[in-house]
C-alpha cells in the first residue's frame, strides 16, 4: 500500500459529491419495519409515556395509521396486541376473533401495499405476563410450543403475510413451519426472533404492551447478554428448522452479534432497535443534550453497517420522512 504524502484519505472527504459517491452503507425506506400496538375499542389513541410518539390504537385508528405508513413508503408493519382479557393460558392469542386477528383482517381489507407481520408470543395474553404455560414458576417448553403453533396458524388465517415468533422456546420454528404448511400456508415466511437477549432495553415496551412478568424474569428462555457463541447456535438451529429471516434483538448494544451472524450464515438478518433504544434517544433529544434527528439516523446506519438487512424501529415514520427513495 502506498503511503503519505501520496495517500491522503482526506481527498475523498473534501467534496460533498465525492463523499456521497463513496458512502459504503445506505439506509433505505425498504429496510424498515414499523411496530404498532393495537387494543380493543374505538377512537382510542393512547400515547405511551416512556415512548413519545408511539401509541396504543384501536383498530379504526390503526387503519388510518397504516394508510399513512404505506403512503410514506414504509413497506411493512409488525403488530402487537393488547387483548380484552388475559388468562393463565393466553387464550386470546390463538382465538380467531382475538385482537390481532381482527386487526389483521381489517388492515388487509382496507390498506393496500403494506406487508403485515405478526408477533407470536403469549406474554401479552397471559395473566402472569410470562411467554408460556406455567407449571409452578417454570415455563413449560413443549406445551407452550403447541399454543404458539395455534397462534401462528390463526394469524395466517386472518391474513398475516409473515409470522414472527418472539418467545424463544426451543423447537418452535420447526413446529410453526409444520403447522403453517399443513394448513396451506407454505408460502408464509417465518422471521424468527432467533437471537433475543434478556434485556433491560425492553422496559418501555412492557408498558406499551402491558406484558411485564408478574414475578421473576425471562432469563430461563431469553439469552444471557454475555454470550456470543450461543447466538450462533440459536441462529443455526432456527435456520435448520426453517426460519427465513433471522432476527437479532436488541440491535444497538448487540452490533457485534449482528455482524457475527451475518458473516456466519447466508440468510437475511433483521435487527430490532427496541423500545429502550428509542426512548433513550428521544429523552436525550427532549433534554437538549443530543441532536435527536442526527443520533436517530446514526443509530440506524450503524445497525445496517453492522450487517442488518432489515430494521424494526419505532423511528420508521420519522426516518421515512427524511429519506428520498
Find the binder of Zn ion among 61, 99, 131, 239 (CB under 5 A). 131
Cell matching residue 140: 413449560
List the catalytic residue out of 49, 109, 249, 286: 249
Find the binder of ligand PBG among 202, 261, 303, 315 (CB under 6 A). 202
Contact 161, 113 (CB under 8 A): no
The burial class, CB within 10 Å (0-12 / 13-18 / 19+), for 215 is exposed
Partner from Zn ion, ligand PBG, none binding residue 279, C-beta < 5-8 Å depending on class = none
Partner from Zn ion, ligand PBG, none binding residue 92, C-beta < 5-8 Å depending on class = none
Please report how close the Cβ of residue 206 comes to ligand PBG at its closest, in angstroms. Answer: 6
Contact 39, 82 (CB under 8 A): yes
Half-sphere exposure of 321 (CA within 13 A, CB side): 7
Q: What are the φ/ψ torsions at residue 268 (nearest 5 degrees)?
A: -60, 140
- Residue number, 117 or 274, with CB nearest to ligand PBG: 274
Q: Got the DSSP string for 32-59? A: EEEEEEE-SSSS-EEEETTEEEEEEE-H
Does 205 bind ligand PBG (CB under 6 A)? Our answer is yes
Specify whether 249 is catalytic. Answer: yes
From 79-87, 103-111, 130-138, 266-274, span contacting Zn ion (CB under 5 A): 130-138
Partner from ligand PBG, Zn ion, none binding residue 205, C-beta < 5-8 Å depending on class = ligand PBG
- Residue number, 187 or 270, with CB nearest to ligand PBG: 270
Residue nearest to ligand PBG (CB): 205
* CA distances in angstroms from 123 to 19, 49, 168, 268, listed in the order given: 47, 21, 12, 27
Size of the site for Zn ion (CB under 5 A): 3
Please report how close the Cβ of residue 308 comes to ligand PBG at its closest, in angstroms. Answer: 15
Q: How far apart are the first and last CA of the chain?
A: 37
Interactions with Zn ion, residue window 86-125 (CB under 5 A): 121, 123
- Residue number, 47 or 182, with CB nearest to ligand PBG: 47
Cα separation, 56 vs 260, whole angstroms: 35
Query: In three state form, how does the secondary structure of 74-123 look?
Result: CCEEEEEECCCCCECCCHHHHCCCCHHHHHHHHHHHHCCCCEEEEEECCC
List the catalytic residue out of 29, 45, 196, 321: 196
Per-position x/- string for 265-304, each x denoting binding to ligand PBG as judged by CB under 6 A, each - no binding: ---------xx-----------------------------
Interactions with Zn ion, residue window 197-216 (CB under 5 A): none
Partner from Zn ion, ligand PBG, none binding residue 125, C-beta < 5-8 Å depending on class = none
Query: In the chain, count of helices (H) and strands (E)?
Result: 12, 12
Find the binder of ligand PBG among 57, 62, 76, 121 (CB under 6 A). 121
Q: What are the φ/ψ torsions at residue 65 (nearest 5 degrees)?
A: -60, -45
Query: Which chain residues interact with Zn ion by CB under 5 A?
Result: 121, 123, 131
Catalytic residues: 196, 249
Positions that interact with ligand PBG (CB under 6 A): 119, 121, 123, 131, 166, 202, 205-206, 211, 218, 274-275
Amino acid at each position: 500500500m502506498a503511503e503519505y504524502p501520496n495517500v491522503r484519505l482526506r481527498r475523498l472527504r473534501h467534496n460533498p459529491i465525492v463523499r456521497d459517491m463513496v458512502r459504503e452503507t445506505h439506509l433505505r425506506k425498504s429496510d424498515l419495519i414499523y411496530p404498532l400496538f393495537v387494543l380493543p375499542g374505538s377512537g382510542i389513541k393512547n400515547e405511551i409515556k416512556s415512548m413519545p410518539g408511539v401509541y396504543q390504537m384501536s383498530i379504526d385508528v390503526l387503519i388510518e395509521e397504516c394508510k399513512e405508513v404505506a403512503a410514506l413508503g414504509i413497506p411493512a408493519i409488525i403488530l402487537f396486541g393488547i387483548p380484552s382479557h388475559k388468562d393463565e393460558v393466553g387464550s386470546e392469542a390463538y382465538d380467531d376473533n382475538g385482537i390481532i386477528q381482527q386487526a389483521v383482517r381489517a388492515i388487509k381489507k382496507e390498506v393496500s401495499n403494506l406487508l403485515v407481520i405478526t408477533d407470536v408470543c403469549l406474554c401479552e395474553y397471559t395473566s402472569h405476563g410470562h411467554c408460556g404455560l406455567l407449571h409452578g414458576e417454570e415455563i413449560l417448553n413443549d406445551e407452550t410450543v403447541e399454543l404458539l403453533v395455534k397462534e401462528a396458524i390463526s394469524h395466517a388465517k386472518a391474513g398475516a403475510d409473515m409470522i414472527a415468533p418472539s418467545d424463544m422456546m426451543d423447537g418452535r420454528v420447526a413446529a410453526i413451519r409444520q403447522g403453517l404448511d399443513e394448513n396451506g400456508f407454505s408460502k408464509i415466511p417465518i422471521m424468527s426472533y432467533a437471537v433475543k437477549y434478556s434485556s433491560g432495553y425492553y422496559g418501555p415496551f412492557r408498558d406499551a404492551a402491558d406484558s411485564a412478568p408478574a414475578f421473576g424474569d425471562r432469563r430461563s428462555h431469553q439469552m444471557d447478554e454475555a454470550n456470543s457463541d450461543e447466538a450462533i447456535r440459536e441462529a443455526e438451529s432456527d435456520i435448520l428448522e426453517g426460519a427465513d429471516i433471522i432476527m437479532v434483538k436488541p440491535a444497538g448494544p448487540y452490533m457485534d452479534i449482528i455482524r457475527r451472524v451475518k458473516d456466519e450464515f447466508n440468510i437475511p438478518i433483521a435487527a430490532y432497535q427496541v423500545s429502550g433504544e428509542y426512548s433513550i434517544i428521544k429523552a436525550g433529544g427532549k433534554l437538549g443534550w443530543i441532536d435527536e434527528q442526527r443520533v436517530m439516523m446514526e443509530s440506524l446506519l450503524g445497525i445496517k453497517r453492522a450487517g442488518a438487512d432489515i430494521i424494526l424501529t419505532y423511528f420508521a415514520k420519522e426516518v421515512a420522512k427524511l429519506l428520498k427513495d
